[in-house]
Structure 1
Amino acid sequence: MVAFVLVLGLFVTGVLVGGTVGAVLLGLLIIGAGVLLAATWKVLSPAHRTLRVVVLLVLVVITVELVVKIPTR
């Protein structure tokens, strides 16, 4: 439960703060998610692997959007 709250807090803070600071916070989440994905890769089913890779890619896209400041509206 603590890990979920920490991840949620980092994500929300990173998105709300935006810019370089927000990208750094989201970068920490990307690194953490990548490490967890690599550590559990062998025991995950193909469906779970796909879902986790998609979540990781979405997080990367959001982070790049914060850095490049792509308008979303």
Structure 2
Amino acid sequence: MQPTQNGPLSRFGRVNPTAAFLGTLALVLAGLFAPGIIGGALLLVLAGAVAALLVATWSAHPPRARLPRVLVLTVLVTAALVKIL
């Protein structure tokens, strides 16, 4: 008998990809259009969530797929810092 996976990563596998994309897009747009530090903070929170997900799933992705993910995270953090400053 194999143990069942009830952790957060098993729940991410059941999320509709279109809904996840649209939700993330809405958060990015809200962060970009929100004024000053509020928008920057929202983008930093989103970057933290993306970084946590990236760390948790790092070994599951092939090396060729890792670089674009890190670049997107870098762009998100840069946009947040520019927004704050």
Q: TM-score range by the shorter chain?
A: 0.7 to 0.9
- Residue aligning to 2:58: 41
2:37·2:83 contact (CA, 8 Å) conserved in 1? yes
- Residue aligning to 2:26: 9
- Residue aligning to 1:59: 76
2:41·2:84 contact (CA, 8 Å) conserved in 1? no
- Residue aligning to 2:7: none
- Residue aligning to 2:3: none
Looking at CA atoms only, which structure, 1 or 2, has the larger radius of gyration? 2
Question: Aligned-pair distance for 1:58?
Answer: 0.4
Percent identity over the alignment is 35
Q: 2:49 aligns with which of 32, 37, 47?
A: 32
State the distance in 1 between where 2:35 and 2:45 align. 14
Q: TM-score, normalised by structure 2?
A: 0.74
**Number of residue pairs matched?**
68
Which consecutive residues of structure 1, in runs of 5 or more, have no partner in the other structure?
A: 69-73
Q: Deviations over 1:9-51 (max 9, x none)?
A: 1100110113111011101210111011001101111111111
Which consecutive residues of structure 2, in runs of 5 or more, have no partner in the other structure?
A: 1-17
